[in-house]
Structure 1
Amino acid sequence: MDLILWRHAEAFEHPDPVLGQQGDPQDLARRLTPRGEKQAARMAAWLDRQLPSAARVLTSPAQRTEQTALALDRKYKVREELAPGGDPLALLALAQWPHGKTPVVVVGHQPTLGQVIARLLGLAEEDCPVRKGAIWWLRQRERGGALQTVLYTVQTPELL
């Protein structure tokens, strides 16, 4: 199974950086900046060439993640479980990791994406940094009777 974790592209800052909180209505309404729109388009063009047509796309209800997913020009499902501050285990359950039959693209947020990466790759840290607009493509495979998680690729919009 392939799990593609895509952090939303660059977005405008929270309008109330002092009192605002991750996942509040103002945070969920934040949109991509013009630079973020370009990042999303660049990454989506690359990703579209790599993904099979049967790939599922799941996104957070935040405006910036939906805008990022829209750049891919494929059907997607908005899932509340992927909202900012979401549970990494809920993300894995939604993706049906590791036993799903089709690749899954999850458009989401930090630190949840980084927590999923750290867990699946067995990193010492609880969280892994993920740049805005970047994808981490993980693959589950069997070798010698044991399941392994392999980092297939990491791609950032700046390198495309």
Structure 2
Amino acid sequence: MKKKVIEIYQSGKGYKAISKALGLLRTTVRAIIYKWRKHGTVENLPRSGRPTKITPRVQRKLIQEVTKDPTTTSKELQPHLPQLRSVSHYVWRKSNTAFQKKNIIPTVKYGGGSVMVWGCFAASGPGRLAVVNGTMNSAVYQKILKENVRPSVCDLKLKRTSAAGQ
């Protein structure tokens, strides 16, 4: 396809005509012609980057293992591949499949719930603790105070003091 773009370009046609004739985007045609002018070729050029440490056969084996269970970790893969010293964890899945059920590892976030309690304490120790069921409103709060303040005062052996003495 790239060679066809260059042939048509050399015959004198513009980006728009080439784009229409081959069914390519104009930006694609422009990029192909730019590369041809700069490097004199439309072939894929060698790229920089770290060379791969695994052979195509080992890569196929990794893909095969992870296809069976997409939630496989790198530590689980290492026993299957003794010739590798370390395997980085890559995500081996097709595009647009990230949220499919088989690719999701279930977790519980934020502890899963909450409990509301009322309590009191004094210098002599802790008082009663009451669990609040449902929504806290004035009536519920008054009931909690009525049922828990006096027994807590008695349990802690607190005595009444005058406000003037403080």
Per the shorter chain, which TM-score range? under 0.3
Greater Rg by CA? 2
- TM-score, normalised to structure 2, is 0.21
RCO higher in structure (CA 8 A, sep ≥6): 1
